[in-house]
Amino acid sequence: MRELRDRIAREGRNLGRGILKVDSFINHQVDASLMMSVGRELGRRFAHAGANKVLTAEISGIAPALTTALALNVPVVYARKTKPVTMPENAYCEEAPSHTKGHFVKLLVSPEVLRPSDRVLIIDDFLAHGHATKGLCNIVKQAGATVGGIGIVIEKGFQNGGKILREGGYKVESLAIIDNMNDNLIHFK
């Protein structure tokens, strides 16, 4: 997706250690117009996946998941990081390490919103080592539901998450794949 790659090249910052800062348009401040384009494109790529729900992780995945769900006309579910008192005790739960946060995060989904009959499209803003995405896949499995595909806004192709998920049989579509971030530059695949 040219619009996204141009924006990453113009405003993205390589912070070292494999961290790409895109806070000005995806992670902290969200460019709504760009997110609508992201959602339309992911919706187009997964139009025939048969998904009846979109699943993402709180918080940065919500914007692209919501716009994708709008494009597909299905509900969006987001895995919470803390358990509210309104969530049942038997919530589906996974823990995943977060490279940018420096600790493990919980992913919690209520069985009230994810059922065995669901075919789920997982959407996230980044794919690096794939820990959060694998955690979401495991939550779908705990629910007895099916993963219909995985849509990613930015994939760090120089890390192994995409390779592991694809080798695991998942259909993964990434809108921008970064080949490397050497010499303080961002190189696309």
pLDDT, tens only, 95-131: 998 766 678 899 999 999 999 999 999 999 999 999 9
Phi and psi at 82, nearest 5°, equal -130, 150
Q: What is the pLDDT of residue 101?
A: 67
Is it the case that residue 91 has pLDDT exceeding 80?
yes
Cβ neighbours of residue 147 under 8 Å, at least 6 residues apart? 120, 122, 137, 140, 141, 170
Q: How many CA atoms lie within 13 A of 50 on its CB side?
A: 8
Average pLDDT over residues 159-163: 96
Q: Which fold has domain 2-188?
A: Rossmann fold (3.40.50)
**Which residue in the block uniquely carries the two structure tokens 């139009």?**
47
Task: Enter the pTM of the model.
Answer: 0.96
Is it the case that residue 16 has pLDDT exceeding 90?
no
Average pLDDT over residues 159-187: 94
Q: How far apart are CA 147 and CA 170, in angstroms?
A: 8
**Which 3 state secondary structure label does DSSP give 111?**
coil
* DSSP-assigned letter for residue 24: I
